[in-house]
Structures are given as C-alpha cells and as structure tokens.
C-alpha cells in the first residue's frame, strides 16, 4: 500500500477536540506507515440538528468505497426520544458490520518494562443485544408499559466468541472469561454462553485453542471482582450492553475514561474510537484528554498490521503518562489537550 486513506468522523463535543490530536500523531509517524490521506466526514447530533440526518448516506458510502479505515470521535445522543434521530455510531457499527468492539484496559507501570497491574481486554459484541433498539410503549391496566427486545443470535455470539478466543490465544496468559447473566436470562444469555463455549470444538479449529483456559463470571459479580482483583482477568467476552458497562468500569481502574481506546472491527473494515462519549461537562474548554484517541489510532494501525507505527504511538503515550508532566485535569494535571499532544509529538 502506498497510501492509507483514513476517514475522520469527529462527530460531537470533545470528539472535535481529540480526533485532530490523533490525526497529528498519525502524521508524525512519517515513513513508518503508508502516507496517510485523511477524508473528513460528518455525522452526529449537531449534523442532525443542522441537516435532519444524523448519519448521511454519503458518509457511509465514502467509508465503504474509499477508506481503508476510520477514526470516530464521540456523539452527543440525547437522553429523550427525538423523532427521526438515531445514534450514528450504533448505526455505523451495524452498517459496516463491525461486529467486535475491542477495548484494552492497561495501566502504565511506573518503570518501562515492568508488568502493568491491570492488563485486560474487553471484547464486546457490537451489533445486537439491547442495541437492536426495538422498543415499544403501550398502556396497560396500571399505566404505561415499555418493552425492549434483546436479541442474541448464535451467529453473532459465535463470531465474537471466535474473535475472543483468537485474542486470548495470542496473549501470554491465554485466559478467557465469558460474561453473562444466564442464571436469570437462561435463554438469551444461555445461548451466548453455550455458543462461545463451543468455539474450541468448531470444525476446523483442530485443537488450536487447547491452551486457552476458560472461566465464566456473572456480570454483576464480574464488576465486583474487577474492582477487587483486576489481575484475575485477561480477555473478557460479553454481550453488547454488559461489555459497554464493564469497559467504562474498568477505565476507573486506570485513572480515566480519557485513556481507554477501542476498535470497532469487522472482517473487512476497522474503525478506531475512544471509549468515552462527547463529555458535555468539559466540551469547548480545550482540556479533553487526547490519549484515548491516540491509542485508538495505534490499535487501528496494529489491526491493519502496522505494528511499528502502533508501537511508537503506544510507547510515546506511555512515556507522557509515566513522566506526569503534561496531563489533563482528568488525570489530576493542569495541561490542555494541545499541550498533551505536543508532549506526545516530542516523544515521537
């Protein structure tokens, strides 16, 4: 590949502040990656209020036809129902079939080369569960009744299970924890659990995952154990909603949501995305932590096989965190987004 075409969708709020930082960090990699070409694309709540459409057809088409990969910022979805609006990130994950949301949560050890105290990956199913967003409101004998469909399919559970086993098998500890609540939701979570468990005996696997140890944890006690003994986890695989909640919770273990990257990955496309949202409480102040977005760019590059570029970004971010001279207020620092970016660029 001569060039790497990267779609940029900052969307709303601090997404507009942190995605440009990721862009600058990618450019600084120079010849360690193919020459990056950025394509600016729109989506989001602001886009909806301006144009009546949250995810323009053009954005999806350009991602599919022209881009090698993409970076998404964050969207400000309202908490109330707005007619005609639907979250563009949830839609994009489905339209591009980005069925896996991979979220590493890793602490930075005081010295380079030391073992981090938290080193886990949440593998979140990205297309179904309650995020199919089929909700109804009816009136019952005692007032309103709201219902939501929670879809779990064997197909989606199997492919996320395969992704999780593959990841677990590639890591030193080779340990996979399946997160569910099948003591209550025996049919839906039962299907998820059994389908993931069956992955090692699928045709063609031929003992490839024999070295992977498998554990299970109910989602509520998984949160409890995550806070008490995070070191027991390596790769955690979960249905969509549990994976979303677990990864925000795990972010607290390493200091800030502003540090946690992710990729939305499918068989043909990858989109990096910080785990955090649009952070309306700090939007426009220039103090959003750009490190989650820079790490998301690294994850995206790593997924595409550009290991050297990815390593350089990760090492630079770790150095800036370790030095603790230029950190944003979420990490108890006093620096701005651009000062932290400048510090990363100096390390690069």
Per-residue interface string for the shown chain with ligand NAD, residues 288-307, x marking contact by CB under 6 A: xx--x---------------
- Identify the residue among 22, 67, 70, 76 touching ligand NAD (CB under 6 A): 76
Is 189 annotated as catalytic? no
Is 248 annotated as catalytic? yes
- Positions 243 through 272 that interact with Mn ion (CB under 5 A): 244
Asked if 74 is part of the footprint of K ion (rule: CB under 5 A), the reply reads yes
Which one, of 216, 232, 152, 227, lies nearest residue 179 by Cα?
A: 216
Q: Rg of the chain over CA atoms, in angstroms? A: 20
Is 65 annotated as catalytic? no
Active-site hit among 5, 16, 174, 181: 181
Asked if 277 is part of the footprint of ligand NAD (rule: CB under 6 A), the reply reads yes
244 binds, among Mn ion, ligand NAD, K ion, none (CB under 5 to 8 A by kind): Mn ion
Identify whether the C-beta of residue 122 lies closer than 8 Å to the C-beta of residue 238.
Answer: yes
Span of 20-28, 101-109, 287-295, 301-309 interacting with ligand NAD by CB under 6 A: 287-295
**Rounded-to-integer distance, Cα 275 and Cα 121, Å:** 13
Which one, of 190, 195, 189, 186, lies nearest residue 162 by Cα?
A: 195
Span of 28-36, 73-81, 156-164, 172-180 interacting with ligand NAD by CB under 6 A: 73-81
157 binds, among ligand NAD, K ion, Mn ion, none (CB under 5 to 8 A by kind): none
The phi and psi torsions of 200 (rounded to 5 degrees) equal: -60, -20
Residue 113 has a CB neighbour count (10 Å cut-off) of 5
Residue nearest to ligand NAD (CB): 277
Active-site hit among 40, 58, 210, 220: 220
C-alpha pair distances (Å), 10 with each of 18, 42, 51, 106: 8, 7, 17, 24
- Positions 77 through 106 that interact with K ion (CB under 5 A): none
111 versus 281: smaller Cβ distance to K ion: 281
Residues near K ion, by CB under 5 A: 74, 273
Residues near ligand NAD, by CB under 6 A: 14, 18, 74-77, 89, 257-258, 276-282, 288-289, 292, 328, 330
Residues near Mn ion, by CB under 5 A: 244
């Amino acid at each position: 590949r001569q060039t790497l075409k990267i779609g940029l969708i900052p969307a709303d709020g601090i997404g507009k502040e942190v995605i440009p930082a990721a862009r600058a960090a990618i450019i600084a990699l120079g010849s360690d990656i193919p020459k990056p070409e950025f394509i600016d694309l729109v989506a989001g709540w602001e886009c909806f209020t301006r144009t009546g459409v949250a995810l323009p057809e053009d954005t999806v088409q350009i991602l599919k036809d022209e881009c090698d990969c993409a970076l998404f910022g964050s969207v400000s979805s309202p908490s109330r129902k707005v007619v005609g609006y639907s979250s563009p990130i949830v839609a994009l994950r489905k339209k591009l079939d980005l069925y896996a949301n991979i979220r590493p949560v890793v602490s930075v050890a005081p010295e380079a080369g030391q073992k981090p105290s938290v080193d886990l990956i949440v593998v979140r199913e990205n297309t179904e569960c309650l995020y199919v967003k089929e909700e109804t409101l009816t009136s019952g004998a005692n007032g309103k009744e709201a219902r939501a469909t929670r879809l779990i399919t064997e197909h989606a559970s199997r492919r996320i299970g395969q992704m999780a086993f593959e990841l677990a098998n590639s890591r030193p500890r080779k340990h996979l924890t399946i997160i569910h609540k099948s003591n209550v939701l025996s049919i839906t979570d039962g299907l998820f659990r059994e389908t993931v468990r069956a992955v090692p005996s699928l045709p063609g696997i031929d003992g490839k995952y024999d070295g992977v140890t498998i554990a299970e944890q109910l989602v509520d006690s998984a949160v409890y154990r995550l806070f008490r003994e995070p070191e027991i986890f390596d790769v955690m695989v979960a249905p969509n909603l549990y994976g979303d909640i677990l990864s925000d919770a795990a972010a607290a273990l390493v200091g800030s949501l502003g540090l946690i990257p992710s990729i939305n990955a499918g068989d043909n496309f990858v989109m990096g995305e910080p785990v955090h949202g649009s952070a309306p409480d700090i939007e426009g102040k220039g103090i959003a932590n750009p490190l989650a977005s820079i790490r998301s760019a690294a994850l995206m590059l790593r997924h595409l096989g550009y290991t050297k570029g990815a390593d350089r970004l990760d090492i630079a971010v770790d150095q800036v965190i370790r030095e603790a001279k230029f950190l944003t207020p979420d990490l108890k620092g006093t620096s701005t987004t651009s000062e932290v970016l400048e510090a990363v660029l100096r390390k690069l």
